[in-house]
Amino acid sequence: MAIRLVVSDVDGTLVAPDKRLTPAAVAAVAALRERGIAFTVASSRPPVGLRPLAAALGLTLPMGAFNGATVLAPDFSVLSEAFVPEAAARAAASRFAAARIDLWVFAEGAWLLRDPRAPYTDLERRTLAAQPRVVPDLAPFLARAAKLVGVSRDAAALASCEAALAAELGGSASVHRSQAYYLDVTPPGADKGRFVARIREELGLAREEVATLGDMANDVAMFAQSGLPIAMGNAAEAVKRAAREVTAGNDADGFARAIARFVLRSPASGA
pLDDT at 1: 77
In the sheet that holds 63-65, the strands lie side by side as: 63-65, 70-72, 78-80
Class of residue 196 by CB neighbours under 10 A (exposed 0-12, middle 13-18, buried 19+): buried
Sign of the C-alpha dihedral computed for residues 146, 201, 214 and 64 taken in this order? negative
pLDDT at 122: 96
Domains and CATH numbers, the chain: 5-81+190-263 (3.40.50.1000), 86-186 (3.30.1240.10)
Q: What is the DSSP string of 62-100?
A: -EEEGGGTEEE-TT--EEE-----HHHHHHHHHHHHHTT
32 touches 4 (CB < 8 A):
no
Indicate the pTM of the whole model.
0.90
Q: What is the number of residues in the chain?
A: 271
Task: From first to last of the 271 residues of the chain, give the pLDDT tens digit.
Answer: 799 999 999 999 999 999 999 999 999 999 999 999 999 999 999 999 999 999 999 999 999 999 999 999 999 999 999 999 999 999 999 999 999 999 999 999 999 999 999 999 999 999 999 999 999 999 999 999 999 999 999 999 999 999 999 999 999 999 999 999 999 999 998 899 999 999 999 999 999 999 999 999 999 999 999 999 999 999 999 999 999 999 999 999 999 999 999 999 976 556 6
Give the helix ranges, DSSP H, for the chain: 23-34, 47-57, 86-98, 121-128, 155-169, 192-203, 220-223, 237-242, 254-258
At residue 39, the 3 state secondary structure works out as strand
End-to-end CA distance of the chain: 21
For residue 257, the tally of other CB atoms under 10 A from its CB is 20
